[in-house]
Amino acid sequence: MPILTCFSLALLAVSPALQAQDDVDVEGLVEFDDTSLDRSLNGGVVSYSESLVDARPAVVSVYAKSLGSSYSREELLMQQLFGITPRRQQAPQFGLGSGVIVSENGYIITNNHVISQADEIKVQLDSQKIYDAELVGTDPSTDIAVLKIESEESFPTIRLTDSDEIEIGDVVFAIGNPLGVGKTVTMGIVSATKRQDMGVISGGFENFIQTDAPINSGNSGGALVDAMGRLIGINTLIQTDGASTGNIGIGFAVPVNLAYSVMTDLIQSGSVSRGFLGVGIEGLDEDKAEFFGIDGLKGALVNQVNAGTPAADAGIQSGDVIVEVDGVGIDSPNDLRVRIAARKPGDEVQIVLIRDKERKSLEVVLAERGSDGRIISHGSSSSSFLKGVTVEGITEELREEHELDEGADGVVVTAIDANSPYVRMLAPGMVIKKINGKDVSTYEDAAEALNPEGKNMFLISYRGANRWIGIEVE
């Protein structure tokens, strides 16, 4: 089935991120309402206007503009440093989505796909006043982004509630700017929760709320609220039958608990820090469940344990079936990924697994996973020696993957976090040959040569061309 994000146009360049503020008390900025929903009034409600009166003004239109280049960040960087001509160019493009103001000082949650490639972002409120928006940060792994607008006056806000408490059949409302017609409210119910394995966020974490409240292009980033007008999700995408691109009653929203957690990390540190276990996993079928001694088909079957990871250190083995994390049952492989990713590096988790048809409990201290889905390891051969930049010594596999010259020597950049402060200076495939005049060929060489508290001079090679680049460590 085709899956569509509810954004009117994809754009083509990257916005700079607002500086992280680790001293911000995010919890004090937003309003939570944990009042239990009254589900005893079936058939007795004739209007929800009073419930929505505060929620509607907090939903805004988000306008994203690219300034006329469809070049990737890497192409523009290579043109600037090495004179390599980008492959294509096009006129400025515009896109429309929605967003939700969650604090009086102007923090807005929206979808990453609404603004991820925009050069300029503007936000329009119900008053018709338009504000320039700064990008606080993005998290492609959950399709969440955070914006900030400024004013001497307080902005209208929406109350948040615990999205884990919603139930199938609860009345919900989708609020946004579909197709650019203006602020629109549509009504439906919660059709399902924990929709996973949709395959729409490559390498990401999917745990959607499903609703039949009509959602269309332009609704992306808007609010999904309950019958009390409280935010329970961020509308993100729809599923179609392939015959049309419009709504057929199957829409999906990121739960607000997840969106709020991502927002907190982005505001305080500029990136999302996730727990990492280090296993390959798959689902169960009847034959596997019988062989491994599992009642039912719930759990995550381990098919690989990566060396040097928390899983290996804790003694997890291939053939183990993970059935619980911290006392909560695991339904599927994606359920395990979501639960581990929701924890922080350094957290200790209790994992219950089935091995040789017997239950076994293990304590595991989680490591770190980058917000782009790549592992940020801290071993000797591959690591993040600049914030969000992963380098490795050159191997034949990396030489082939990045099309490196046979004589290339140094460390190759293999991954860079989307929110790294060095995202405009370095890119995957670049080879770092020297740092401050010293040859480097391993991570240890690079870490030793780096001045961690000031300016550095890098000799960078790309497709046989060399350039010196000054980089100041942040």
State the pairing for strand pair 321-325/328-329: antiparallel
Query: Would you call 66 a catalytic residue per the annotation?
Result: no
Distance CA 124, CA 298 (A): 46
Question: In 241-309, which residue ranges form alpha helices assigned H by DSSP?
Answer: 256-269, 286-292
List of residues 6+ apart from 54 with CB closer than 8 A: 156, 158, 159, 229
User: Residue 402: how many CB atoms within 10 A of its CB?
Assistant: 18
Cα angle value 318/324/328 (rounded, 5°):
160
Query: Would you call 402 a catalytic residue per the annotation?
Result: no
Cα angle value 158/162/168 (rounded, 5°):
105
Residue of 139, 143, 212, 417 marked active site? 143
User: Residue 407: how many CB atoms within 10 A of its CB?
Assistant: 7
Residue of 8, 69, 113, 320 marked active site? 113
Which tokens go with 271? 């990136």
Asked if residues 89 and 71 have their Cβ atoms less than 8 Å apart, the reply is yes
Residue of 141, 217, 220, 271 marked active site? 220
Single-letter residue type at 411? V
DSSP class per residue in 159-219: -B--GGG--TT-EEEEEE-GGGS--EEEEEEEEEEEE-----STTS---EEEE-S---TT-
Query: Would you call 220 a catalytic residue per the annotation?
Result: yes
User: Residue 438: how many CB atoms within 10 A of its CB?
Assistant: 12
Nearest to 340 by CA among 359, 368, 308, 378: 368
Say whether 401 sits in a helix, a strand or coil: helix
DSSP class per residue in 64-110: EEE-S----HHHHHHHHHH-PPPS-----EEEEEEEEE-STT-EEEE
Distances (CA, A) of 68 to 71, 89, 289, 434: 9, 7, 54, 35
**DSSP secondary-structure letter at 249?**
S
Distance CA 394, CA 411 (A): 6
Asked if residues 22 and 269 have their Cβ atoms less than 8 Å apart, the reply is yes
Distance CA 300, CA 281 (A): 6
- Cα-Cα-Cα-Cα dihedral sign, residues 258, 259, 262, 267: negative
Among all residues, which ones are annotated catalytic? 113, 143, 220
